[in-house]
Structure 1
Amino acid sequence: MAGHFEAVPGGGAAVALDEVEISILRSLAVQLLELLGPGDEPAQGEDPLAQLFAPGPSEPPADPALARLFPDAYGNGDDELREYSSEFRRFTENDLRDRKREDGMALVRTLDAVTAAGENGAVLKLTPEDCRHWLGALNDLRLTIGTRLEVTDEDEGGELYRLPDSDPRKPMVMAYLWLGALQETLVETLMP
């Protein structure tokens, strides 16, 4: 089980992680949460229902990683498609951002629970709901790191896989590949 997910009775999954892996996952998740920014809590005395229906941003984020996490709904087209994307973003980005924050926080809470138990490593047992959050967080982490590494769909040559150890991108590449393996085994575990 070390390093990959396996099914557990009841529909969840389990994975054995050592202390270093837990620390790396937690650090990456916290960095993702910082990138996403804080949630918008209603000001004291403000109507929470009004906040729920407040419009979000209409322009794509300037940060390429955030733009990858929150892409235009209708691609880069003509003015009419940009207008549709803008309207779609205005009504959906806040909810999507909240969900991504929730996924990241669930990952951090799971890891913190293991760390609080004082173990140097552990077998994490995830409920089906935890698995959903972990899949979302692992996907967001890979998209973010992939954007920072400038990985594209056409990246067939695999030059990133052959980086020398002295290349400063090497740790990010290793994290990207490791997160991909975790994500893949979690998906396979949850497949019927």
Structure 2
Amino acid sequence: MPGTFEPLPGGGAAVALDDVEISIIRSLAVQMMELIGPGPAEDASADPLADLFAEGPSEPPSDPVLRRLFPDAYGDPDGTPGAKEAEEQKAHSAEFRRYTENDLRAGKRDNALAVIRSLDALSPVGEGGAVLELSPDDSRKWLGALNDLRLAIGARLEISDEDDGDLLFHLPDQDPRKPMVMAYLWLGGLQETLVTTLMP
């Protein structure tokens, strides 16, 4: 079980983590929450209907990590659109973003917070480690958070496709990007085994 998620009887997943791994994941989740930004202010409306229709930003984020986490909904995957098509796509993306980004941010914030809380609740087992046991619901939150963390690190490393990841895998040890690449690959392994546990 070390370093890989395994299914639990009745649903959910478990993984053995050492103190360093716990510290890394927790630190990354905290950074993710800081990057995404705070939730609604304390003086925000208590009316859930008003919150449902609250408008979010219409412009894409300037930070490349946030652009990867909250991409435009409309675009031409097959090439560069003409000027008219580009303007239409921009307008549609802005409208979509206004009504969805707040919810997307809240979901990503909730996932990161679930990771932090579950790690904080761990009881040490044996020499410098613990076994994390997740319910099916927490497993899905962890899966979302692991995906977001990999997207964020991938954006910082400027990984745009699988070939970029393969090249980074062979970086020399003295390359300053190496620790971030190792975290990216390790989180990918965790994510893959967690997906396997959630498959019917």
User: What TM-score does the superposition give when structure 2 sets the normalisation length?
Assistant: 0.89
Larger mean Cα displacement after TM superposition, 61-70 or 50-59: 50-59
Give the drift of 1:31. Answer: 0.6
Q: Using the TM superposition, give the Cα deviation of residue 163 of structure 1 relative to its aligned residue in structure 2, in angstroms.
A: 1.1
Asked if the contact 2:159/2:165 (under 8 Å) is kept, the reply is no
Cα distance in 2 for partners of 1:121, 1:154 equals: 32
Q: Name the residue aligned to 1:17.
A: 17
Q: Secondary structure at the match of 1:17?
A: strand
Taking the TM superposition and a 5 Å limit, the aligned residue runs for 1:3-152 are 3-43=3-43, 46-49=45-48, 50-75=50-75, 77=81, 78-114=86-122, 117-119=123-125, 120-152=128-160
Query: 1:86–1:168: structure 2 CA closer, same or farther, 3 Å change rule?
Result: same
Amino acid at match of 1:146: G
- SS of residue paired to 1:158: helix
Q: In the comparison of the two structures, how many residue pairs are matched?
A: 189
Q: Match for residue 164 of structure 1?
A: 172
**Cα distance in 2 between the residues matched to 1:36 and 1:60:** 13
Deviation at 1:48, TM superposition (A): 3.4
- 1:127, 1:167 → 2: CA distance? 39
Q: Distance in 1 between matches of 2:171 and 2:64?
A: 23
Using structure 1 for the length normalisation, give the TM-score. 0.93
Structure 1: how far apart are the matches of 2:164 and 2:63? 25
Question: Within 1, Cα distance between the matches of 2:62 and 2:164?
Answer: 27
For structure 2, the residue ranges without an aligned partner over 5 or more in a row are none
Q: Is the 8 A contact 1:15 1:123 kept in 2?
A: yes
Checking the alignment, whether the CA contact within 8 Å between 1:42 and 1:48 is kept in structure 2 is no
Further displaced range: 159-168 or 55-64: 159-168
Does the Cα contact within 8 Å between 1:57 and 1:93 map onto a contact in 2? Answer: yes
CA deviation after TM superposition for structure 1 residue 157, in Å: 7.4
User: Which whole-Å CA distance do the structure 1 matches of 2:195 and 2:162 have between them?
Assistant: 23
Alignment root-mean-square deviation, CA: 1.6
